[in-house]
Structure 1
Amino acid sequence: MTYAETLAYLYQQLPMFQRVGMAGFKKGLDNALALSAAMGQPERRFRSVHVAGTNGKGSSSHLLAAVLQAAGYKVGLYTSPHLREFTERIRLNGQELPPDYLVDWVTRWRGLFEQVQPSFFEMCVALAYDYFARMEVDIAVIEVGLGGRLDSTNIITPLVSLITNISYDHQALLGDTLPQIASEKAGIIKPGVPAVVSLTQPEVQHVFEDKARQEGSALLFADDLYQAERIAQGQEEETGLQAFELRRNGKPYLGTVELGLLGHYQRLNLPGVLAVLDELRRQGFELPEAAVRRGLREVTQLTGLRGRWSIIGRRPLVVCDTGHNEAGLRLVLEQLGRLRYRRLHMVIGAVNDKDVAKMLAMLPREASYYFCQAAIPRALPGDELATMAAAAGLLGQNFGPVAAAVAAARQSALPDDVVFIGGSTFVVAEVDELYS
């Protein structure tokens, strides 16, 4: 098979949850364990960090991988979904999985897939684990796909588990209350394995404490130890860097550090990242201050992270961000509210299994809207989104394809305006491909 034929096989034979929704989701670890057994249990042949959470798990995973790379380690990184290319999901020291490797791997195991009938995601995890084992990585950072307890990644026993934050997302699969969702995320806490929670949230704190006690695992709420205060410098959009003052146990730590991600919400991720690095040091990893500084500053160059408050144009300022659930979108809107502009233009798309009405209720009424539909089966039709938006008091129209909506917004905007693009990871993915 060619690379294109291999991708077509994977997408058609193994439905992808991100594209089609529930039809591509299989609950439970049986298939993951069956694939692992057939491949010789590759997840037991490398050390790992496991990262779950509703928001921030992707950024935190990339930040951890960047620091480990900067310290000289051979680092695997598994994240999902991809923005443009399947191979983004699996990286070795920032380099994407070689397409030829994917073709050979699928050809080798195709008979097994037809026997086990795994989901797309189960196959992706098996590929990542087998690849990291064969490449003999020093450590791999593994991001959970959905939930934690029954997520396909959860067959590993990591050195440390990290849970970033808990908010409402995928309620049909994870539960309707924050404690129910937290219980699913807490499922990555393994017997005797230290666990870090980035953010103390009183309504779910007991869930993590109970699970850690049950598993005999040390538990740390990272924001009890670390605080990150953003220093406004006024040139972040030009430099691509924002500055933070870090404190540890209330005392200055590392002085001022620069972060190569511009979302103000990264302040919520930094405590968890720093606490995990502490735990890895306790387990023998050499992670000097210089590596921490470089990893934080050069995270996008080292790991290829995109889509988090990404600036794709200036005059007018054009920003895209993948934040799409209630908590993530609220933080993005807070940052938008701090910008100075004459007029705000919002390019928005959504998927059909999200609480779109709740998202629309959060959006600013004074903005001009350009509604669109990403090119995936799961996308909410743009005309339906525009109708719902009108009922919510938002002024705008449907432009159909993402590219058309973005072009219309950029054409309408004056140099001192702001264009924001988001609402769905898949809208951002198409924009990333258009403007990278």
Structure 2
Amino acid sequence: MTYSEALNWLFSQTRAGAPRGLGRIRGLLERLGHPEALFSAVHVIGTNGKGSVVAYLEAAFRAAKEAFGATSSPHLVDFRERIRTHLGLIPEGEVLEFVRWAQEERFLEPPAFFDLTTALAFRHFAQKGVRIAAVEAGVGGALDATNVLPRVRLTVITNIGEDHLETLGGSLEGVARDKAGAIRPEVPVVTGAQGVGLEVVRALARERGAPLYVLSEEELFALPTAPALPGRFQQQNARLAAAALRLLGYEEAAIARGLAAAFHPGRMQRLEYRGVPVVLDGAHNPPAARALAEEFEGFHLVFGAFPRKDYASTLGALLPKTKSLRYAWAGRGALRGAELQRVRASPYFEDPLEALEHAAAAARQEPWPVLVTGSLYLVGAVLEGLGLSAWTAPEVGP
């Protein structure tokens, strides 16, 4: 079996209609000897900003010369981006060996892709001597596979917005209850949630005796330096990370170096394509799209999305500043032309690079930047098509 064949097998593993729950991941970890018990963790939950908070934490851990782990999803170009340590991305050989092991096992509840990926990450962290990991939740909190971590030192709930509504209860309050359900007794919580979401988080934190720190102008959330990740919305993510790191006891120097060095591909990532400025961003729900649109006066838009997302509202948040629009296929399972064009008639391209070229031609006539967004999978397809690597560990100064 090749590495590519191992990934194809991983991607093909689904819940097949089974309900969400922790039984599958628990069964996996039990057979692996409970590697999740060998490191402590920061559990990062929320509608938007999870990956950015993980990136800030990861860079600060590196600055502090910590033996750390980090997970994020989805990947952009290479599956290995999902699982990282102070030593770099997980090796292909380890992924291959794990898949061979999993294929030989017989499970009462067959694990799905995210269960397998989470178990692989935890085993890798244990093998590499990780002391603390920044772990990004997948969907929700209470029933997410990452919620089996036994040694969570701090929980970050970035925000709570309209995404995965059907999966997480059908309402903003339902989403909040699912995400806040991962709050652990007496474990501190840092959050940027507002409104209904904050009310639910506050109530559950009180019920479980978890100290709650809500984003404010207080010194705990102060930024010791300008954060590396571009975009005004990144200020909140950086402040949440700074507060988390202070509560964990990290020195101000390491916090400052980490915030200044963080790198998160596919989030306001800037590059040049044939003389035209291009911004790649994985905004895939209405709150993220609204925040992204605020960063521009105008743009030529390349948009792709998946049917499980509220793509019409996401696109609607971008249209007021869109100078020209074209759609692109974002990958397996993504929406195609006829479905996207129901929102607004515009050209559709099966090849994302053809869509990028079409937008670049428009940008040469009307000089606005090209924005590629709607899905991180679309961003990844563009990066891969351009032959660019998504993930390079940032250099952290002395």
Q: Same fold (TM over 0.5)?
A: yes
Q: Deviations over 1:264-307 (max 9, x none)?
A: 210121221111111110xxxxx33332222112212xxxx200
Look up the match of 1:425.
376
- Counting only pairs closer than 5 Å after superposition, residues 142-291 of structure 1 correspond to structure 2 as 142-157=135-150, 158-197=152-191, 199-223=192-216, 225=218, 248=222, 254=224, 257-281=225-249, 287-291=250-254
C-alpha distance in structure 2 between counterparts of 1:200 and 1:178, whole Å? 12
C-alpha distance in structure 1 between counterparts of 2:87 and 2:141, whole Å? 24
C-alpha distance in structure 1 between counterparts of 2:17 and 2:58, whole Å? 28
**TM-score, scaled to structure 2:** 0.91
- How far residue 84 of structure 1 moved from its aligned partner, in angstroms, is 1.0
> Does 2:302 correspond to 1:347?
yes
Q: Deviations over 1:249-270 (max 9, x none)?
A: xxxx63xx23221122101212
Change (3 A) 1:145 1:324: same
SS in 1 for 2:326: strand
- How far residue 357 of structure 1 moved from its aligned partner, in angstroms, is 2.2
- How far residue 399 of structure 1 moved from its aligned partner, in angstroms, is 2.2
8 A contact 2:329–2:351 mirrored in 1: yes
- How far residue 114 of structure 1 moved from its aligned partner, in angstroms, is 5.4
Which residue, 374, 390, 400 being the options, matches 2:350?
A: 400
C-alpha distance in structure 2 between counterparts of 1:261 and 1:24, whole Å? 38
Bigger helix fraction: 1
Amino acid at match of 2:122: Y
Look up the match of 1:320.
280
Q: Number of residues paired by the alignment?
A: 383
- How far residue 417 of structure 1 moved from its aligned partner, in angstroms, is 2.4
Look up the match of 2:319.
364
> Does 2:58 correspond to 1:98?
no
- Root-mean-square deviation (CA, aligned residues, Å) is 2.0
**TM-score, scaled to structure 1:** 0.83
C-alpha distance in structure 1 between counterparts of 2:204 and 2:280, whole Å? 37
Q: Greater shift after overlay, 82-91 or 169-178? A: 169-178
C-alpha distance in structure 2 between counterparts of 1:196 and 1:330, whole Å? 23
Q: Deviations over 1:44-91 (max 9, x none)?
A: 111111000000011001111110111110110011111111111000
Change (3 A) 1:226 1:184: farther
8 A contact 2:227–2:238 mirrored in 1: no
- How far residue 176 of structure 1 moved from its aligned partner, in angstroms, is 2.5
C-alpha distance in structure 2 between counterparts of 1:217 and 1:288, whole Å? 23
- How far residue 370 of structure 1 moved from its aligned partner, in angstroms, is 1.2
8 A contact 2:324–2:362 mirrored in 1: no
C-alpha distance in structure 2 between counterparts of 1:94 and 1:407, whole Å? 37
8 A contact 1:74–1:93 mirrored in 2: yes
Identity of aligned residues (%): 35
- How far residue 94 of structure 1 moved from its aligned partner, in angstroms, is 6.4
Look up the match of 1:374.
330
Q: Deviations over 1:204-242 (max 9, x none)?
A: 222112111221211111325359xxxxxxxxxxxxxxx
8 A contact 1:24–1:120 mirrored in 2: no
Q: Greater shift after overlay, 54-63 or 92-101? A: 92-101
Change (3 A) 1:130 1:179: same
Structure 2, unaligned runs of 5 or more: 389-398
C-alpha distance in structure 1 between counterparts of 2:311 and 2:42, whole Å? 33
